[in-house]
Amino acid sequence: MKPKTPRVRPNVHIYIDTSNDYGRSLLRGVFKYTSLHRHWMVHVDWWNLSQKKAEFPDCDGCLVAGASPQELQAIRQSSHHTVNCSTGAMGDDCPAVHLDNTLAGQLAAKHLHACNLKHFAYYPAAKTKDASSMRLRAFEDALKSMGHSCAIAPVQWPEDRQWLLQHHHKAAAEWIATLPKPVGIMVFDDMVGHDLMLCCKNAGFAVPDEVAVIGINNDELLCEGSWPPLSSVHVDYSRIGFRAAQMLDRLLDGEPLPESERDTKVAPLGVVQRASTNLLAVSDPLLADAIRYMREHACDPCNVQDVLRHVPIARRRLEKRMSAELGRTPHQEILRVRIETAIRMLTETDFPLMHIAQKTGFSAIQNFSKAFRTHVGQTPAAYRRLARPR
């Protein structure tokens, strides 16, 4: 038998901005893949993409994130195969693996709506055909389906590092002053959220009582470093880096990518709630206490009788007030919390379905599967396969 010709080690260059957690998480995913498949000669340029480069060395393959359309074009001219790991420059036909911005916007809208807010906004002004416009469109559409509208900030985000000078804070504060309160604001990402929280503090807007803020990416340093700490849509960018490396490896092996896989979207994992959205816009203190109890104990499990034992309120009054305020009965609210918890466990863990059913308060896996399918539209197993493809 003729021995197999050893594969020539391809030269792979990585151009990822490692000055933030987003870039470092992508890089962790790439390195996880390369450590399992030790056949690349990897060269990492530890640079900040704000430092423009005129030339890029020739290579067999390249992974890039955060590049402008002009930078991506220059990189592609010097690389035989390129995979883009971000939504930026998506007008290009470059194969890409990136966050599903539509799902991210929907998650943010659902989270703010669950706080019983009636007024919503997006900051800063979105550009056309980029991640910000995708997130805004999904945020608006989700709110519209729930009977609400969205105010859009007229304030542009400063270019380069001009945001550090805070010249835009005056216009942002004036815009926030015009919004009805309390208002839930989705921001483009956690860096913008950190900045907006500082703007609110300096302008005297109470967070979250007047302005509730949610970001995207769940950059823990930025979120925990905000005051108060910033809630955020959790994105595991290491998964995106791993899958981008996997896609590039297929291209280097000469495998043609089906058109359906050239633009691969990875779902966010859920919302990590912190103090910036820790409010429940309900005027009745007994009702607020009852809802808070349901959200804290839904998976214990608890039922409506448990809530009534904790809060001195008549069942009929509780049901009537909750339906008026949230559009849901107590039983529906408890079930909603259980299903959302199950979704996080399906996407973030490898726990078997039986374990998840038990931990989310269901007495049997059959009951769990039926309730999940009713609310989500597919079985727990099918949801996990889509959220965490191999």
Q: Is residue 170 part of a domain?
A: yes
Query: What pLDDT is recorded for position 388?
Result: 65
Using an 8 Å Cβ cutoff, are 42 and 50 in contact? no
> Within its chain, how far is the Cα of 301 from the centroid?
28
Query: What pLDDT is recorded for position 1?
Result: 41
| Claim to verify: residue 88 and residue 134 sit in the same structural domain | no
| Claim to verify: residue 299 and residue 366 sit in the same structural domain | yes
Give the percent of the chain with pLDDT over 70.
92
Query: What pLDDT is recorded for position 139?
Result: 97
How does pLDDT run across 129-164, given as a tens digit for each residue?
A: 688 999 999 999 999 999 999 999 999 888 777 777
Residues 5-38: b if buried by 16+ CB within 10 A, e if exposed: eeeeebbbbbbbbbebbbbbbbbebbbebbeeee
Q: Is the pLDDT of residue 348 over 80?
A: no
Q: Is residue 315 part of a domain?
A: yes
- Alpha-carbon separation of residue 248 from 18, 55, 242, 261, 262 (angstroms): 20, 22, 10, 12, 11
Q: Is residue 1 part of a domain?
A: no
Q: Is residue 27 part of a domain?
A: yes
Between 349 and 203, the higher pLDDT residue: 203
Single out the residue of 130, 87, 80 nearest to residue 248, CA to CA: 80
> Within its chain, how far is the Cα of 3 from the centroid?
48
| Claim to verify: residue 299 and residue 244 sit in the same structural domain | no
Q: Is the pLDDT of residue 35 over 70?
A: yes
Q: How many domains does the chain have?
A: 3
Q: Is residue 4 part of a domain?
A: no
Query: What pLDDT is recorded for position 7?
Result: 54
Using an 8 Å Cβ cutoff, are 371 and 379 in contact? no
| Claim to verify: residue 264 and residue 298 sit in the same structural domain | no
Q: Is residue 3 part of a domain?
A: no
Confidence of residue 325 (pLDDT cuts 50, 70, 90): confident
Query: What pLDDT is recorded for position 136?
Result: 95
| Claim to verify: residue 127 and residue 241 sit in the same structural domain | no
CATH number at residue 153: 3.40.50.2300
Between 43 and 366, the higher pLDDT residue: 366
Query: What pLDDT is recorded for position 2?
Result: 43
How does pLDDT run across 82-138, given as a tens digit for each residue?
A: 999 987 554 567 899 999 999 999 999 999 998 889 999 999 988 766 889 999 999
> Mean of the pLDDT values across residues 211-234?
93
Q: Is residue 363 part of a domain?
A: yes
| Claim to verify: residue 352 and residue 258 sit in the same structural domain | no
Residues 331-360: b if buried by 16+ CB within 10 A, e if exposed: eebbbbbbbbbbbbbbbeeeeebeebbbbb
> Mean of the pLDDT values across residues 293-321?
91
Give the percent of the chain with pLDDT over 90.
50
Between 354 and 327, the higher pLDDT residue: 354
Single out the residue of 255, 197, 108 nearest to residue 99, CA to CA: 108
Whole-number mean pLDDT of the chain? 87
**Which amino acid appears at position 3 of this protein?**
P
CATH number at residue 295: 1.10.10.60
| Claim to verify: residue 176 and residue 126 sit in the same structural domain | yes
Single out the residue of 126, 282, 280 nearest to residue 216, CA to CA: 126
Q: Is residue 68 part of a domain?
A: yes
| Claim to verify: residue 121 and residue 185 sit in the same structural domain | yes
| Claim to verify: residue 114 and residue 218 sit in the same structural domain | yes
Using an 8 Å Cβ cutoff, are 184 and 116 in contact? no
Full-model pTM: 0.79
- Candidate from 157-171, 203-217, 356-370 with smallest mean pLDDT: 157-171
| Claim to verify: residue 219 and residue 196 sit in the same structural domain | yes
Structure token pair of residue 16? 């990822």
| Claim to verify: residue 129 and residue 208 sit in the same structural domain | yes
Using an 8 Å Cβ cutoff, are 185 and 212 in contact? yes
| Claim to verify: residue 370 and residue 290 sit in the same structural domain | yes
Range of the domain at 252: 11-99+237-268
